[in-house]
Amino acid sequence: MVECIQSADSDRSISGGLPGMRGGDHLGITVPDMQEAEDFLVRVLGATPIYTLPGKHAVDDWMAVQLGVHPRTTITDIRFFRLGNGCNLEVFTFDSADGQAPAPRNSDIGGHHLALYVDDIDEAVSYLREHGVEVMGRPIASKDAAVGQHWVYFRAPWGMQFELVSYPDGKVYEADADVRLWHPVRDAR
């Protein structure tokens, strides 16, 4: 367990890790169709569009050096969204010079999902299904340290996996924890 000390005079966490790290700023995702993604993020999930940046054309080896992609790849669109009281999303579309792979599964290296906290998981699942979203299974009650939480996965139209989580009365580990996981409603201390 990493000891985290809150400095009284600077509001800085000192954990022995990355200097000055305050927390997550955004998650960047690549989508095949920006209009479809924006419709899903805004109309279905309720994200707020914040701003758009112009694309980036390949110049020299900038794309390979800065982003680790084929040097002739072009970013065609970049948009930023905010999800409720938490995660910002930076959404990209690319014209990839060497093709694009499908979204990875959770079991693939680099596999991932984005979890969204909701107050009532059953209500959220019904809402997603009413909007034609693929909900993967049914809400599951967590075990062990996460008792009190329910979760279920769902897919965006482009195949990215999302998760709904809900633990309005907390998780069992919190009873004895000095530091808790970030929660969109409660203070983590």
- Beta-carbon contacts of residue 114 (< 8 Å; ≥ 6 apart): 27, 29, 87, 160, 161, 162, 163
Same domain for 87 and 130? no
Same domain for 77 and 32? yes
Same domain for 120 and 80? no
Q: Report d(CA 78, CA 119) in Å as an integer.
A: 30
Which of the listed residues 70, 100, 130 is the one where a domain comes to its end? 100
Taking only the tens place, the pLDDT of each residue in 4-54 is 434 333 455 556 789 988 888 999 999 999 999 999 999 999 999 999 999
Same domain for 114 and 86? no
Taking only the tens place, the pLDDT of each residue in 123-164 is 999 999 999 999 999 999 999 999 999 999 999 999 999 999
pLDDT, position 21: 85
Same domain for 122 and 86? no
Taking only the tens place, the pLDDT of each residue in 99-115 is 999 889 889 999 999 99
pLDDT, position 14: 52
Among candidate residues 54, 56, 50, 55, the one with its CA nearest the CA of residue 80: 50
Same domain for 116 and 76? no
| Domain presence at residue 152 | yes
pLDDT, position 137: 96
C-alpha torsion sign, points 30, 182, 81, 116: positive
| Domain presence at residue 94 | yes
Same domain for 72 and 112? no
| Domain presence at residue 166 | yes
Question: Structure pTM?
Answer: 0.86
Which of the listed residues 74, 100, 126 is the one where a domain comes to its end? 100
What CATH number should be reported for the domain holding residue 121?
3.10.180.10
Among candidate residues 37, 25, 49, 26, the one with its CA nearest the CA of residue 160: 37
Same domain for 68 and 43? yes
Q: Report d(CA 139, CA 81) in Å as an integer.
A: 27
Q: What's the total number of domains in the chain?
A: 2
| Domain presence at residue 17 | no
Same domain for 96 and 29? yes
Q: Give the residue numbers spanning the domain of 72.
A: 24-100
Same domain for 92 and 29? yes
Q: Where are the alpha helices (DSSP H) in the chain?
A: 34-39, 62-67, 121-130
| Domain presence at residue 96 | yes
Q: What three-state secondary structure class fits 168?
A: coil
Q: Report d(CA 130, CA 124) in Å as an integer.
A: 10
| Domain presence at residue 7 | no
pLDDT, position 127: 97
Same domain for 76 and 110? no
- Beta-carbon contacts of residue 189 (< 8 Å; ≥ 6 apart): 6, 179, 180
Same domain for 91 and 131? no
